[in-house]
Structure 1
Amino acid sequence: MSQSRYLAKQAPQPQVPDQYYSEQNLPASILSDFQQAAAETEFEVTANTRRSYQTSFAIFQGYCEHHGINALPADPRAVISFIGQQKELFQENGCQLSRQTLTTRLAAIRHYHIEAGFKSPTDHPMLLRIMRGLSRNHYRVQADYDQQPIMYHELAMLLECVDKQKHPLLACRDRALLTLGFQGGFRRSELAGMQVQHVSFLRDKLRVRLPYSKSNQAGQKEWKDLPFAEPMACGEFIKAWLDISQITSGHLFRSISRDGQQLRPYQLKDATDPASRNSGFLNGDDVYRTVRKYCKQAGLGEQWFGAHSLRSGCVTQLHENDKDTLYIMGRTGHTDPRSLRHYLKPK
């Protein structure tokens, strides 16, 4: 036997434990520390993802209750049957549920099983084969269009409609919202969550810091520089909004009273008070409705546009302006150039 083989044979082999070591009795003195650490799992997924999971899992629970089977833990065959029922559903627009929607249903089932300490039935080989087949099934009736991009021409039409607003405060806010969303290629959740302290006015550009984003869940340093010299630049509109609203801290885009004369009272949820809630600032749905409202007024056809049209338009317009892929990724925050293929429309 060679020396190397002999040494390898004599070396201690790593032991893989079947289960974690468990104390028979944990002292009560560490209970509060354990609960403090466990509370951080609330932020493991975003609030929007958690709501989406709750909705999807409730649908799965309803299916299981209807057929008298267990939802948690669930038999893989129950999950397969559920997907079989869901993939045949037709929505009001005459289309079947997309593969992405079905994937979200499965992600919710997986999330709640792992959270409860059960093996996820969504890992079953048969289910994986079914989802691969769904992605290649060309015969399903699915929506075949995305939200159309808002580019310079469309944005100019929207701003003309904003200018017709009879309430100066509302018009000022919406100009800032639309132009910032377009120039920065922001998602609606990023616009809704933006804080005044995230915005800095430099000599020739507006710098916007993003503490968190869809592609930056861990809170790494991320910012966008938006030049004042670009067409449809947002800098002057953001400054005008801050001047007229007198906002100095907190959320950038606030709710406005029905008469359009003043900001609504601003309040953030108090963690120590279960009855408290967030109020006084826009959420993602408000951003979506704002874009759709002005698209309808401009005669663009509101069914083709939404909040994502601002982000899509940013990518498409920069592509039209002959900016390279790295420049566009720096503006939008994409981390994979392949993700841009969906946005880059032919010139």
Structure 2
Amino acid sequence: MAEEAAHDLMAEGESDNTRLAYRAAMRYWAAWFGARYGRQMSLPVPVPVVVQFIVDHAERSTKAGLEHQLPPAIDEALVEAGFKGKLGAPALNTLMHRISVLSMAHHLSKQANPCVDPAVKALLSKTRKAYAKRNALPHKQRALTKEPLEAVLETCNDSLKGKRDRALLLFAWASGGRRRSEVSEAVFENLHRGDEGAYLYTLASSKTNHNGKIRPEDVKPVVGSAAVALEAWLKASGIASGPLFRRILKNGKLGTDGLSGTAVRDIVKARCALAGVGDDFSAHSLRSGFVTEAGRQNMPLQETMAMTGHRSTDTVAGYFRAGAAQVSEVARMMDLGKQSSNKA
């Protein structure tokens, strides 16, 4: 049932990463339901079941400390079967994602949606507020801004792997903070020479362009050090068609297969660990890092959005403002006053 629901859930053309995430969420729902109720789950899921799912997975404050409702035996069974990574309550983001996946499953199958029931919506709202009061904010991967990225790039030597990773990191960051699916699906045929050593890359498919229509905003510049790194990688690898970034085999030779989204993530995490900049970066850190750095350098928001492909300012503004806040003159009014006095 979970496999069929996941198949129906995801429309043709969605990224592999999105499909995997939705499939995993639906598998978890089916496994939890079977363990909780002793029978197979089917749509529509009753409202009380969704309420039970929330209280099973959301932590709440008690006299004994933080607790959740999931019985230990079921928790252990889900971990042993591989549906959970570890015992205990998941992150709030994970819980909310699984609710949204179930909601979409009901919407696409045209079933009565329990996730929009007033009781469920009220419980989710109170749950978010409870986490906020405990300062248990949703975890966000750190933004890989210019300074830590430069340290990461220093780990990329002149080996074939080093050249690939350097080109990949700079391509993803400098062309507007590309998503890992956009990096893993990049192909040589969409890369074109620009002027003065620059490249232009056309995003034929992205999260905001499922139809493959070529629009002016889908042409991204790869210039400066990013273009130099890409040129070095293409020359060393000999790639003239097909996937732009590929696996490197154990014997050091170039593979024919393109990297997966998971491999892109692993490259970012491995290079960050090697550089010693921290272990809380991911592939998305390249995207958030580009936007945050743009804010730090007071780049125009609309120009930044044109590079990233964001259509809503609500999504991008958080990272952008966080970067801008670090160089805010308003935030430094006290210090600016002292500097003026010292000069006098």
Shorter-normalised TM range: 0.7 to 0.9
Q: 1:118 to 1:45 in 2, by over 3 A?
A: farther
C-alpha distance after superposition, 1:187-238 (max 9, x if no partner): 1111111111121120043211111222223434242443634xxx311111
Alignment match, 1:228: 223
Shift of the alpha carbon at 1:287?
Answer: 1.2
Contact 1:212 1:218 in 2 (8 A): yes
Write out aligned runs for 1:324-343 (5 A): 324-343=300-319
Select which of 141, 145, 155 maps to 1:151.
145
Amino acid in the other structure paired with 1:283: S
Alignment match, 2:174: 183
The reply to whether residue 171 of structure 1 matches residue 170 of structure 2 is: no
Alignment match, 1:124: 117
Contact 1:96 1:140 in 2 (8 A): no
SS class of match (2:155): helix
Amino acid in the other structure paired with 1:78: V
Q: CA-atom RMSD, angstroms?
A: 2.9
Amino acid in the other structure paired with 2:23: Q
Q: 1:256 to 1:150 in 2, by over 3 A?
A: same
Amino acid in the other structure paired with 1:155: L
The 2-side partners of 1:41 and 1:296 are apart by 34
Alignment match, 2:94: 101
Structure 1: gaps (5+ residues): 1-37, 267-279
Q: 1:140 to 1:337 in 2, by over 3 A?
A: same
SS class of match (1:212): coil
Larger mean Cα displacement after TM superposition, 148-157 or 191-200: 148-157
Amino acid in the other structure paired with 1:72: S
Select which of 283, 292, 314 maps to 2:260.
283
Select which of 46, 61, 81 maps to 2:52.
81
Amino acid in the other structure paired with 2:221: L
Alignment match, 1:23: none
C-alpha distance after superposition, 1:150-189 (max 9, x if no partner): 23322222222112x6xx2111111100111111211111
Contact 2:248 2:254 in 1 (8 A): yes
The reply to whether residue 292 of structure 1 matches residue 269 of structure 2 is: yes
Amino acid in the other structure paired with 2:183: L
Identity %: 26
Shift of the alpha carbon at 1:120?
Answer: 2.5
Alignment match, 2:240: 248
SS class of match (1:207): strand
Alignment match, 2:340: none
Alignment match, 1:276: none
Q: 1:136 to 1:44 in 2, by over 3 A?
A: farther
Structure 2: gaps (5+ residues): 1-6, 60-67, 71-83, 328-344
Contact 1:95 1:142 in 2 (8 A): no
Contact 2:91 2:138 in 1 (8 A): no
Shift of the alpha carbon at 1:317?
Answer: 2.1
Amino acid in the other structure paired with 1:238: L
The 2-side partners of 1:86 and 1:40 are apart by 23
Q: 1:99 to 1:286 in 2, by over 3 A?
A: same
C-alpha distance after superposition, 1:285-330 (max 9, x if no partner): 11111112121121112x2222222212211222233211011111
Alignment match, 1:61: 30
Select which of 35, 49, 55 maps to 2:18.
49
The 1-side partners of 2:153 and 2:186 are apart by 21
Amino acid in the other structure paired with 1:281: G
Contact 1:69 1:78 in 2 (8 A): no
The 2-side partners of 1:115 and 1:340 are apart by 28
Select which of 268, 292, 297 maps to 1:316.
292
Q: TM-score, normalised by structure 1?
A: 0.74
Q: 1:190 to 1:95 in 2, by over 3 A?
A: farther
Length, aligned pairs only: 288
C-alpha distance after superposition, 1:129-168 (max 9, x if no partner): 22222232224574665322223322222222112x6xx2
Q: TM-score, normalised by structure 2?
A: 0.74
The 2-side partners of 1:160 and 1:80 are apart by 50
SS class of match (2:42): coil
Question: Which one has the largest radius of gyration?
Answer: 1
Shift of the alpha carbon at 1:71?
Answer: 2.1
Larger mean Cα displacement after TM superposition, 124-133 or 218-227: 218-227
